[in-house]
């Protein structure tokens, strides 16, 4: 990849992050929730994500996720999915809030650190992005996630 600077890195990171957000959207992750999750809540989250991904009524899906959080403010999956959706809509401050909440609830959620790193990079905070990518590399057992974090960390270190 050519040597990129500032806003160019942000643009590249945003495009790649959207791709990863779509890839990880239906994924439930390996984290353990702080509170037990009712099966119907999981179904509602999956349905909401499907509605958003269809693109016909994204606000309906977003409202469903918000309803989940009204009933269970500590639902990690709902916060995570809303974080991914915030990234897709380039609302990086909101995404950062969501990923911070996921990490607050489960500090071993490496996917949240990974996406928070991309969010930091999109906001131009490359040092915080590097710190989060390093945490993912050092703590994940997911080889693909580790490889992607390594790739982005290398790119950040080369610029």
HEC readout, 104-129: HHCCCCHHHHHHHHHHHHHCCCHHHH
Q: What is the pLDDT of residue 18?
A: 52
- Dihedral, CA of residue 107, residue 110, residue 112 and residue 117, to nearest 10: 110
Domain 6-157, CATH number (from 3.50.50.60, 1.25.40.10, 2.40.30.170, 3.40.50.300): 1.25.40.10
Average pLDDT over residues 83-112: 96
Between 159 and 30, where is the model more confident?
159
Query: Tokens at residue 55, please?
Result: 């693109």
Between 9 and 146, where is the model more confident?
146
Yes or no: say if 119 and 97 are a contact pair by the CB < 8 Å rule.
no
Average pLDDT over residues 98-122: 97
Closest CA relative to residue 115, chosen from 155, 5, 94: 94
Percent of residues, the chain, with pLDDT higher than 70? 75
Taking only the tens place, the pLDDT of each residue in 29-38 is 444 443 444 5
Helices (H) and strands (E) in the chain, counts: 8, 0
Of the candidate ranges 14-23, 133-142, 145-154, the one whose mean pLDDT is the lowest: 14-23
Query: The pTM is what?
Result: 0.76
Q: What is the pLDDT of residue 159?
A: 80
Query: Tokens at residue 155, please?
Result: 């790119």
Between 134 and 56, where is the model more confident?
134
Q: pLDDT band at 48, cuts 50/70/90?
A: very high
CA distance 43 to 74: 17
Q: pLDDT band at 14, cuts 50/70/90?
A: low
Q: What is the pLDDT of residue 30?
A: 43
- Number of Cα atoms under 13 Å in the Cβ half of residue 91: 11
Q: For 111, list phi and psi in degrees, rounded to 5.
A: -65, -40
Q: pLDDT band at 17, cuts 50/70/90?
A: low
The distance of Cα 24 from the centroid of its chain, to the nearest Å, equals: 8
């Amino acid at each position: 990849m050519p040597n990129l600077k500032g806003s160019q890195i942000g643009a590249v990171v945003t495009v790649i992050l959207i791709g990863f957000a779509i890839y990880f959207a239906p994924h439930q992750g390996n984290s353990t929730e702080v509170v037990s999750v009712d099966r119907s809540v999981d179904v509602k989250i999956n349905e909401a994500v499907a509605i958003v991904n269809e693109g016909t009524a994204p606000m309906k899906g977003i409202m469903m996720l918000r309803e989940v959080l009204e009933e269970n403010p500590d639902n990690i999956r709902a916060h995570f999915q809303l974080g991914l959706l915030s990234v897709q809509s380039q609302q990086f401050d909101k995404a950062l809030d969501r990923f911070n909440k996921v990490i607050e609830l489960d500090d071993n959620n490496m996917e949240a650190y990974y996406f928070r790193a991309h969010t930091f990079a999109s906001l131009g905070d490359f040092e915080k992005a590097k710190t989060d990518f390093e945490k993912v590399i050092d703590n994940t057992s997911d080889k693909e996630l580790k490889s992607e974090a390594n790739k982005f960390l290398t790119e950040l270190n080369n610029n």
